[in-house]
Amino acid sequence: MATHTEFQEALLHKLSDSGLRSTPQREVVFKVMLQKRDHPTADEVFARVKSAMPSISLATVYNCLDTLVSCGLIRQVNFERGPTRYCPNLHPHAHFHDLQTGSTHDIDLPPGLIDQVKTILPEGYDASSVEIIFRGKTSFAAASAILPATGQN
Amino acid sequence: MATHTEFQEALLHKLSDSGLRSTPQREVVFKVMLQKRDHPTADEVFARVKSAMPSISLATVYNCLDTLVSCGLIRQVNFERGPTRYCPNLHPHAHFHDLQTGSTHDIDLPPGLIDQVKTILPEGYDASSVEIIFRGKTSFAAASAILPATGQN
DNA sequence: TCATATAATTAGAATAGTTCTAATTCCTTC
DNA sequence: GAAGGAATTAGAACTATTCTAATTATATGA
Ligand SMILES: [Mn+2]
Ligand SMILES: [Mn+2]
Ligand SMILES: [Zn+2]
Ligand SMILES: [Zn+2]
């Protein structure tokens, strides 16, 4: 059996690439982010992490999330001025914000779409990133009535 | 000569459609929004409005901007958790956020692009709006060096 | 025209999410 | 096993925005 899990390897690698240390707090925050494919706020991450590490502070959760974002291990998403949400899905994707439930869904981007969208930019605009946000309603409420109700995701 | 300008007509119409009154404060806020094709924050609108109406309050500027947004006379834009910006351009457009200057540029959307982007949505997703945000740098700095420096737009 | 009702404005308090500060603890290296 | 730097921590501070409660303006209609 391995002494390091795959996720710990990835974490360690990305962190040391940036000259940063792997700490128990960073590990548990990252683990929590990978455990559920949703879009928690810092407060929600804090709540989840506390069961594994009751002594962690909210400031550290913010610090760890910032660190993971700057290492490219997770992404950050914002809707209007709501609290920042964190996303563990590193594949190129858009976000669908369900206005009725408040939940957020990942929408896979077909390869080439981003480049295609970039072609609308006039001369002189050099986009390093393109973000696409959909807002609306979904019509598969049945699923969420059967699955455990978990609030916003 | 007309007693009402065209902008006042539009304002009055849209407001009364929503059962709201046209007030001096709403008029001056709307006028200020149309005078410059940029993306001011509430504070910036407040500063511009004060020269025409020194007694107006910041709370009223927030109220007026909200009202204009809900009447569809202006739009609201957010970048990360920065202060909300207001946009007088009602044509379908995307936003380019210049990471070097902090300024925001409108990018016209060719007709059909939004519908095309919507086709990536799986069954059951019904998007009422699609927002596209570009981030990156621009290579026409010369213009902003010649034109009066006006801070973020 | 005056009374009444409702809408809008206002100053300032309150709020929420996040960042900062300064002290402490933890590692790594010599 | 010191020393120095990195990370964590509690709590204060901050910023943009919303709320509260009082005041002022406007519309209606007797
Ligand atoms: Mn957003
Ligand atoms: Mn945004
Ligand atoms: Zn996501
Ligand atoms: Zn715009």
Tell me the pLDDT of chain A (153 aa) as tens digits. 344 567 777 777 888 888 899 999 999 999 999 999 999 999 999 999 999 999 999 999 999 999 999 999 999 999 999 999 999 999 999 999 999 889 999 999 999 999 999 999 999 999 999 999 999 999 986 454 444 434 445
Q: How confident is the model at residue B151 (pLDDT cuts 50, 70, 90)?
A: very low
Q: Which residues of A10-38 are buried (b: 16+ CB within 10 A; e: fewer)?
A: ebbebbeeeeeeeeebbbbbbbbbeeeeb
Which of A19, B27, B65, A29 is closest to A7 using CA atoms? Answer: A29
Contacting residues for B152 by C-beta, under 8 A, at least 6 apart: B38, B39, B41, B44, B101, B102, B103, B104
The pLDDT tens digits of the residues spanning B61-85 come to 999 999 999 999 999 999 999 999 9
CATH topology of domain A4-77: Arc Repressor Mutant, subunit A (1.10.10)
A125-138 and B125-138 as β-strands: parallel, antiparallel, unpaired? antiparallel
DSSP state at residue A30: H
Q: Show me where the domains of chain B are located.
A: 4-77, 91-150
To the nearest whole Å, the CA of B118 is away from the closest chain A CA by 8
* Mean confidence (pLDDT) of chain B: 88
Which of B76, B88, B73 is closest to B36 using CA atoms? Answer: B88
**Chain A residues lying within 8 Å of B99, measured CB to CB:** 128
> How much is the pLDDT for B143?
52
> How much is the pLDDT for A44?
97
**Ligand nearest A83 Cα, by number?**
1
> How much is the pLDDT for B94?
98
- The maximal CA–CA distance of chain A, rounded, in angstroms, is 55
The residue count for chain B: 153
Instruction: Record the pTM.
Output: 0.88
* 8 A C-beta contact, residue B12 and residue B22: yes
Whether the predicted pLDDT of B3 surpasses 70 = no
To the nearest whole Å, the CA of A131 is away from the closest chain B CA by 5
* 8 A C-beta contact, residue B80 and residue A81: no
A125-138 and B75-77 as β-strands: parallel, antiparallel, unpaired? unpaired
Q: How far apart are the first and last CA of chain B?
A: 34
* B149 interfacial to chain A (CB closer than 8 Å): no
SS3 B127: strand
* 8 A C-beta contact, residue B106 and residue B89: yes
Nearest to B134 among A84, A96, A121 (CB): A121
**Chain B residues lying within 8 Å of A110, measured CB to CB:** 120
Nearest to A135 among B96, B122, B129 (CB): B129
To the nearest whole Å, the CA of B99 is away from the closest chain A CA by 10
* 8 A C-beta contact, residue B61 and residue B30: no
> How much is the pLDDT for A145?
46
**Angstrom distance, A17 CA to C10 C1':** 54
Best residue in A126, A140, A144 to probe B by mutation, most B CBs within 10 Å? A126
Q: Which residues surround ligand 1, an ion (CB under 5 A)?
A: A 78
